[in-house]
Structure 1
Amino acid sequence: MSGDYSETQVIVVGAGPVGLLLAGELRLAGTDVVVLDKLTAPTTESRASTLHSRTMEILDTRGLLDGLGDIPNDPSGHFGGIPFDLALPGPYPGQWKVAQTRLEEVLGQWAADLGADIRRGHELTSLTETGDLVTAEARGPDGTVSTVRAAYAVGCDGEHSAVRRLGGFEFPGTGAERELLRADVAGIDIPGRRFERLEGGLAIAARRPDGVTRVMVHEFGARPRPGAPSFEEVADTWKRITGEDIGGGTPLWVNSFGDASRQAASYRKGRLLLAGDAAHQQMPIGGQALNLGLQDAFNLGWKLAAVVSGHGGEALLDSYHEERHAVGRAVQANIRTQALLLLGGPEVDAIREVFAELTGHEDVRTHLAGMITGLDVRHGAGSQDPAAGLRVPQAGAVGEEGGTTVFELLRPGRGLLLLAPGDEARREELRAAAAPWRDRVRIATAAGADGEAGPAALLVRPDGHVAWSDGTPDTAPGEDLTAALERWFGPAALRPPRQAAPREAVRVTPVTAAREVRGGGTDRLAGRTALVTGSSRGMGRAAAIRLAEEGALVAVHYTSDGAAAEEVVASVEKDGGRAFAIRAELGVPGDVESLFGALEADLLERTGSTDLHILVNNAGVMGGVGPADITPDQFDRIFAVNAKAPFFLIQRALRNMPDGGRIINISSGLTRFANPDEIAYAMSKGALEQLALHYAKALGPRGITINSVAPGITRNGNPVFDIPEAVEQMASLSAFNRVGEPEDVADVVAFLATDEARWITGSFVDATGGTLLG
């Protein structure tokens, strides 16, 4: 049976931790993603339970640690069952115990909140690549086959990956020669065992707080069995090795894993990519397999999103294979060594003794700990730059006003230019060099520690690895930095933002002393700042340009089309104005703080203040679905973007807005003119008008005005405006016998933003060209 057809930008196959982290990373960057998983519900089997230091840093970088609750920490780890101290310098030393089920829950909620389309119970059955598209077919729970098309597809679907098989990836390596049986058992009481080597084999037992005991057992010389083991087989083997009878317990989960070691020859094949166990199969000793996969996803997500958005090219996407294949190869080598030490019989005892002695040497311990925790990873180790490829150091607070960590600065998923205190002239040179990338790279100043020496600046990728360091002060200003920015963040904006000349701070008052009323484009908004949401096109674009013509510094907000936003900035600057682009997805959790985090950083750099004088709530989505067909998800999305986001944007903006500020909400003539196909949209805009009405009274004492502007039929790039007959019919609804232009609405917005409109608040401004006259 045939089912739905849909399009997206990236298909992720597999809704385990790796696939969910990748989906969240893509959505954080504004990339549309569909996740397909053959399971109808998340698994209840907690296969892995260990997170290492680098993975903890990654989760902190995206603000996900709080959701995991109080995580037990164990500073000691092991290498092939030989215990040693894993702790290394950093915020998360040792290993951390988190059930895979809990990790999946947190990552799944995060990805869904960001707007990922997670389709459970959809098994991939076909995958084809044609030209610039990947087409996937998946069988749903009811047997219906649905089709999804995208620019790229990523297999995060485990060691038996359908993407790897259907995509024809080579998967060389060796099969399993040994296996470890494993079971979670309730109702048994046996001694705890940590890698206890007995005469006939290896036994491990650990009782969880809920009373369930995880047992793992290997019988020396035993070969892997075909298929999954039964609990009886696990209990029989346990009894032979330990003499203990666990057969009366209740098995909650039984499986086995072997020491197979395989790695895809390439992690990328055209528009198909692999991550996690789909890319590499290894024995999950010490939790390294899960951590390796999560780190794959973190490396790939921002790169793939950059390519989809047009900021990155083939070389950036190829760097995913180059970097992660080398890491995977190194991890597999250490796991094969550990498997031999762990599961080998008496013949490896002498080797184990030597290893145990070596771990007592600090340099050996440090080397092994870095290898297991992922803290020793350096991408592009052949670089002459001593810092390039390393994790960014966590040396104290950063930020223009202090008190912010590097992890927090990286949370929006953008790059970071981190400037060290010191040579102010050099810092300004670097700021100027990075200015054309401000939509993709945040700039901050480190609060360096006393006596600490290091590079004057670090360019940090969204995954927390250093892309460039300023270790050569005699280099021409910005020369090497520019090359690094182009390599990792794509071409510069069409035109770099001009540095604003110092201005005297403008404090807008409720009633300004008599001033000359001037025409448009005469700096009536000089010294003020404005944010226009959804301003990469249409009415928002026109409003941003118009406010800049009046002298305002304008933040051009966009969701996904960064190129269009930069074109607006370039247009403003070509005419002598000032603007910059910022990205944030609206209508999703964390949207307002993400937007204002970027906005405040940019305002501070350009003006020395985070004051926002003008807010234009223009971003919105229409429904286009009749009342009988609209779904709850569609309804919620319309209200989230059109009503909820403006409410909380205003709430947040008032912390930055001086007295006498201006708030302008773009409503719609459809709140007064019936269109059955846009009932939900009209309802959301009606809520927006109520927001202005009631807020006006609350903000009056501060001289802040808030008004609703209601456009009518306005040319917006829709193909219908290319049909003369349709335009003629739409024009007939206006008193002026024409359709509206974005500039018609922008002029109204500009007027309401000026002092001349100081006596207008809480109003509904009909900007429909007389369409509502009847």
Structure 2
Amino acid sequence: MSEDHTETQVVVVGAGPVGLFLAGELRLAGADVVVLEQLTAPTTESRASTLHARTMEILDSRGLLASLGDPPNEPMGHFGGIPLDLTLPSAYAGQWKVQQTRIEELLAQWAKDLGADIRRGHEVTALTATGEYAEAEVRTAEGRTELFRAKCVVGCDGENSVVRRLGGFGFPGTEGGRELLRADVAGIDVPNRRFERLDGGLAIVARRPDGVTRVMVHEFGAVPRGGRPEFTDVVDAFKRVTGDDISGGTPLWVNSFHDASRQADSYRDHRFFLAGDAAHQQMPIGGQALNLGLQDAVNLGWKLAAQVAGRGPDGLLDSYHGERHAVGQQVLSNIRTQALLLLGSAEVEPVRQVLAELIANSENVRSHLAGAVSGLDIRYDVGPGEHPLLGRRLPHWQLTTDEGAVTSTAALRPGRGVLFLLPGDDPRQQARHEELRSAAAPWADRVRTVTAGSCTGGGTPDTGALLVRPDGYVVWADTPGTDLEQALRRWFEAPTAAAAATRPAPAAPSTAARANNNSSATATAKKWRTHMNRLTSKTALVTGSSRGMGRAAAIRLAREGALVAVHYTARKDAAEDVVAEIEKDGGRAFTVRAELGVPGDVHELFLGLENGLRERTGSTDLDILVNNAGVMGGVKPEDTTPEKFDELFAVNAKAPFFLIQRALKNMPDGGRIINITSGLTRVANPDEIAYAMTKGAVDQLALHFAKYLGPRNITVNSVAPGITRNDNPVFGIPEAVEQMAQLSAFNRVGEPEDVADVVAFLATDEARWITGSFVDATGGTLLG
């Protein structure tokens, strides 16, 4: 085997929903990850089709629900085939019908957008671990042998897990004793059957909106056959049990499952981990298996990322096994009970009748079982305290904050911990909040502080503050005898000097300013800090900001207190000059390079951006995006070639669209998107038809994205400059400048700073009520 190897921080084996979700969680928290999948293409078999309330809450906490559209919701579920109302306090009560193929597609795109390296056609053949790293030997679809080296390897590769086998994990439990046949069939028309128990067995029939019918059948006493069934086996069993003939249909997928119940004795062995069906095998009743696995992933992801980054406190990774193994035991127990109720023959009927009566007549029984099925009943042991929310999931509240309205769930989208400072009637509350804010400040690189002016829905918090982990579970409540710093140290490790040094410090002049003792620069910095700090603690990306309007916008946003990413394509020296000017006057900035309008442009830009943000803030949050980069046309219509036309659209229109799409993964609610367009979308210039078309397209971005992003309080606006001074030689000709100046109501040409001031205003909270707008920044050129 070659000594060459691919090195990363975490290797995830398996690109099913659990592996992909874990990969996204790791990337969200800043860890490098490679996903290895034996299949060369995603499966078309949609095994699972149900998402429960807790999983929906988790997907919402990562901003993923919008992409699912409006899936069907059914408040009624079942327990062993007995109807069960799943309504509980949650924004997503009930069960939601989403095919597993759609979940995989969504999570794969999310993980890729975050920078996960997903490699298909890679079969793991050997695993080794040392004191420093773990290695996975892989055989590719082309027959090559490759070696991957990481700090940890996680098996998310299903019930026949290679990682579990090669890693030597124990997998005790019971073999299956009952078999249920299953098929997705097109071209049949049979009545729907919901857990219908007949004399000979159990039948389930559900016709999907796409016309495909899922058929499941169990003949009482049927045992697992030990191999994959044929469609004729399903046809024959279904006819014997129901009397209906489905032989004329077209089978799209046929399989069987049984009631085996196994669980790994440990979810962690040194550098190897298990999640999802690799850690537990169970009968897929009521969609619990998929949900259990996705919840494993969200529990492990942030913890593992912290550990490989060297900031995981002692015992953090052990808590993964401690928390999720216990949950797995409970779920497997209720699934075994359901399997007996479903697949048992006449002898279980008296038990079914008694349980049905209890569910119908006892709210305690109903809510207990609904909590177990939906995952809403989980409570972890997270430390001292008696508050009822301690160890439980964060309720879904509507909050008003300094950054606008936000839900408590949406506040978790950056993938960091959150200290919620909640409203209350105690007049001493404000002083207490300041005390807590100060105590949490050293952890600012890994824990956000959100101050709520109001809190509605989801029940009363009954406390002034809560500390919540990235996976949405409350680990501290402000009650007598509890210690916030102790909780922060337990879950987020002691703060480091480096972390404290990277926290925003707008009040301090730069090192260069102090060293040079430049009184003018110091005075300017003081002015900025005193009067122009509306964007303190915000982060911004300005594309094309090494010169012209982009340069002016970057400097202006930094003057307001923002940390600015100065993007350039070729002129690194010019971009570094912008950074130097910002830092000279007490601001903060860094450069990031990417050529726009070419394949991979957005990915390259965000790799550099996230690295720069993480180094300086400990987070990849992006609060402000200014789409300024563009190319001019200057070509008569008859001389415009297809190549030139494609270049204009690739840089001016396509790149801004996909930059917005990608930025929304990093942008907290209340963010700002500002697109630089052109006054030429309102006045005619025959030499710029193609260019004006591209800018007209960008105007539409503001209009439609504004409507789409309104629920997140993200504003999107267009700023349209007119004739603005740049490095074009024409601005060195006085006669030409005088002629251009006459087009403006102010009888002068625009300066880059004129446009930058408009951009800065739209980036602040003062512009919170402006979105979807075309802002005329032409100096009155469009007045006629």
Return the TM-score normalized by structure 2: 0.68
Q: Which structure 2 residues correspond to residues 69-80 of structure 1 after superposition, within 5 A?
A: 69-80=69-80
1:700 pairs, out of 753, 756, 762, with 753
- In the alignment, what sits opposite 1:606? none
Q: Structure 1 residues 334-343 or 230-239, which shifts more?
A: 230-239
Following TM superposition, by how much is the alpha carbon of 1:701 offset from its aligned partner in structure 2, in angstroms? 2.1
Q: Which structure 2 residues correspond to residues 532-551 of structure 1 after superposition, within 5 A?
A: none
Q: Which amino acid aligns with 2:754?
A: P
Q: Alpha-carbon deviations, 1:410-464, whole Å to 9, x = none? A: 1110111001113100000000000011111111123224994511100011111
2:495 pairs, out of 483, 492, 508, with 492
- In the alignment, what sits opposite 2:397? 395
Q: Is the 8 A contact 1:86 1:369 kept in 2?
A: yes
Give ranges in structure 1 of 5+ residues lacking alignment. Answer: 504-515, 535-546, 559-576, 603-609, 618-635, 658-689, 707-774
Q: Which amino acid aligns with 1:430?
A: L
Q: Which amino acid aligns with 1:123?
A: E
Following TM superposition, by how much is the alpha carbon of 1:484 offset from its aligned partner in structure 2, in angstroms? 0.6
- In the alignment, what sits opposite 1:369? 370
1:99/1:244 CA distance change after superposition, 3 Å: same
Following TM superposition, by how much is the alpha carbon of 1:395 offset from its aligned partner in structure 2, in angstroms? 2.7
Q: Alpha-carbon deviations, 1:386-420, whole Å to 9, x = none? A: 22211111232242244111122111101110011
> Is residue 235 of structure 1 aligned with residue 271 of structure 2?
no
- In the alignment, what sits opposite 1:734? none
Q: Is the 8 A contact 1:2 1:144 kept in 2?
A: no
Give the secondary structure class of the aligned counterpart of 1:285: coil
Q: Alpha-carbon deviations, 1:609-630, whole Å to 9, x = none? A: x999x9999xxxxxxxxxxxxx
Q: Which amino acid aligns with 2:479?
A: G
Give the whole-Å Cα distance in 1 for the aligned partners of 2:363 and 2:136: 51
Give the secondary structure class of the aligned counterpart of 2:287: helix
2:448 pairs, out of 424, 434, 442, with 442
Give the whole-Å Cα distance in 1 for the aligned partners of 2:420 and 2:277: 34
Q: Is the 8 A contact 1:12 1:153 kept in 2?
A: yes
> Is residue 174 of structure 1 aligned with residue 208 of structure 2?
no
Give the whole-Å Cα distance in 2 for the aligned partners of 1:85 and 1:401: 38
- In the alignment, what sits opposite 2:276? 276
Following TM superposition, by how much is the alpha carbon of 1:119 offset from its aligned partner in structure 2, in angstroms? 0.5
Give the whole-Å Cα distance in 2 for the aligned partners of 1:648 and 1:176: 47
- In the alignment, what sits opposite 1:264? 264
Following TM superposition, by how much is the alpha carbon of 1:11 offset from its aligned partner in structure 2, in angstroms? 0.3
Q: Which amino acid aligns with 2:190?
A: I
Following TM superposition, by how much is the alpha carbon of 1:702 offset from its aligned partner in structure 2, in angstroms? 4.5
Following TM superposition, by how much is the alpha carbon of 1:116 offset from its aligned partner in structure 2, in angstroms? 0.6
- In the alignment, what sits opposite 1:405? 407
Give the whole-Å Cα distance in 1 for the aligned partners of 2:593 and 2:189: 52
Give the whole-Å Cα distance in 1 for the aligned partners of 2:266 and 2:373: 23
Give the whole-Å Cα distance in 1 for the aligned partners of 2:560 and 2:755: 21
Give the whole-Å Cα distance in 1 for the aligned partners of 2:245 and 2:167: 47
1:148/1:75 CA distance change after superposition, 3 Å: same
- In the alignment, what sits opposite 2:152? 152
Q: Which amino acid aligns with 1:389?
A: G
Give the secondary structure class of the aligned counterpart of 2:93: coil
Q: Which structure 2 residues correspond to residues 181-220 of structure 1 after superposition, within 5 A?
A: 181-220=181-220
Q: Alpha-carbon deviations, 1:445-490, whole Å to 9, x = none? A: 2322499451110001111100100012xx5xxx710011111112
Give the secondary structure class of the aligned counterpart of 1:290: helix
- In the alignment, what sits opposite 1:414? 416
Q: Structure 1 residues 281-290 or 4-13, which shifts more?
A: 4-13
Give the whole-Å Cα distance in 1 for the aligned partners of 2:725 and 2:328: 54
Give the whole-Å Cα distance in 1 for the aligned partners of 2:332 and 2:563: 48
2:486 pairs, out of 483, 487, 492, with 483
Give the whole-Å Cα distance in 1 for the aligned partners of 2:386 and 2:413: 26
Give the secondary structure class of the aligned counterpart of 1:215: strand
Cα RMSD of the aligned pairs, angstroms, is 4.5
> Is residue 458 of structure 1 aligned with residue 461 of structure 2?
no
Q: Which amino acid aligns with 2:485?
A: T
Following TM superposition, by how much is the alpha carbon of 1:381 offset from its aligned partner in structure 2, in angstroms? 7.2
Following TM superposition, by how much is the alpha carbon of 1:521 offset from its aligned partner in structure 2, in angstroms? 5.6
Q: Is the 8 A contact 1:523 1:551 kept in 2?
A: no
- In the alignment, what sits opposite 2:721? none
Q: Which amino acid aligns with 2:476?
A: W
- In the alignment, what sits opposite 2:439? 433
> Is residue 380 of structure 1 aligned with residue 363 of structure 2?
no
- In the alignment, what sits opposite 1:292? 292
Q: Is the 8 A contact 2:313 2:489 kept in 1?
A: no
Give the whole-Å Cα distance in 2 for the aligned partners of 1:4 and 1:705: 53
Q: Is the 8 A contact 1:525 1:551 kept in 2?
A: no
Q: Which amino acid aligns with 1:410?
A: L
Q: Alpha-carbon deviations, 1:267-296, whole Å to 9, x = none? A: 000011000000000001000000000000
Q: Is the 8 A contact 1:438 1:581 kept in 2?
A: no
Q: Which amino acid aligns with 2:462?
A: G
Give the secondary structure class of the aligned counterpart of 1:372: helix
Give the whole-Å Cα distance in 2 for the aligned partners of 1:89 and 1:655: 38
Q: Alpha-carbon deviations, 1:483-506, whole Å to 9, x = none? A: 111111122141757999999xxx
1:186/1:579 CA distance change after superposition, 3 Å: same
Give ranges in structure 2 of 5+ residues lacking alignment. Answer: 508-516, 542-554, 567-584, 595-601, 630-650, 677-723, 732-748, 760-784
Give the whole-Å Cα distance in 2 for the aligned partners of 1:218 and 1:313: 49
Following TM superposition, by how much is the alpha carbon of 1:315 offset from its aligned partner in structure 2, in angstroms? 0.8
Give the whole-Å Cα distance in 1 for the aligned partners of 2:355 and 2:539: 62
> Is residue 115 of structure 1 aligned with residue 115 of structure 2?
yes
Q: Is the 8 A contact 2:725 2:752 kept in 1?
A: no
Q: Which amino acid aligns with 2:421?
A: L
Return the TM-score normalized by structure 1: 0.69
Q: Is the 8 A contact 2:540 2:623 kept in 1?
A: no
Give the whole-Å Cα distance in 2 for the aligned partners of 1:385 and 1:589: 48
Q: Which amino acid aligns with 1:27?
A: R
Q: Which amino acid aligns with 1:288?
A: Q
Q: Is the 8 A contact 1:54 1:374 kept in 2?
A: yes
Q: Alpha-carbon deviations, 1:708-756, whole Å to 9, x = none? A: xxxxxxxxxxxxxxxxxxxxxxxxxxxxxxxxxxxxxxxxxxxxxxxxx
Give the whole-Å Cα distance in 1 for the aligned partners of 2:350 and 2:414: 51
Give the secondary structure class of the aligned counterpart of 2:365: helix
- In the alignment, what sits opposite 2:36? 36
Give the whole-Å Cα distance in 2 for the aligned partners of 1:83 and 1:439: 47
Give the whole-Å Cα distance in 2 for the aligned partners of 1:307 and 1:59: 23
Give the whole-Å Cα distance in 1 for the aligned partners of 2:370 and 2:593: 39
Q: Which amino acid aligns with 1:166?
A: L
1:616/1:206 CA distance change after superposition, 3 Å: closer
Q: Is the 8 A contact 1:532 1:554 kept in 2?
A: yes
Following TM superposition, by how much is the alpha carbon of 1:89 offset from its aligned partner in structure 2, in angstroms? 1.2
Following TM superposition, by how much is the alpha carbon of 1:191 offset from its aligned partner in structure 2, in angstroms? 1.2
Q: Is the 8 A contact 1:532 1:616 kept in 2?
A: no
Give the whole-Å Cα distance in 2 for the aligned partners of 1:170 and 1:371: 26
Give the secondary structure class of the aligned counterpart of 2:210: coil
1:419/1:428 CA distance change after superposition, 3 Å: same
Q: Is the 8 A contact 2:298 2:471 kept in 1?
A: yes
Q: Alpha-carbon deviations, 1:76-108, whole Å to 9, x = none? A: 000000012111111001000000001100000
Following TM superposition, by how much is the alpha carbon of 1:186 offset from its aligned partner in structure 2, in angstroms? 1.2
Give the whole-Å Cα distance in 2 for the aligned partners of 1:314 and 1:691: 58
Tell me the number of residue pairs that the alignment of Structure 1 and Structure 2 aligns.
Answer: 598
Q: Which structure 2 residues correspond to residues 703-722 of structure 1 after superposition, within 5 A?
A: none
Aligned identity (percent) is: 58
Q: Which amino acid aligns with 1:469?
A: A
Give the whole-Å Cα distance in 2 for the aligned partners of 1:22 and 1:496: 29
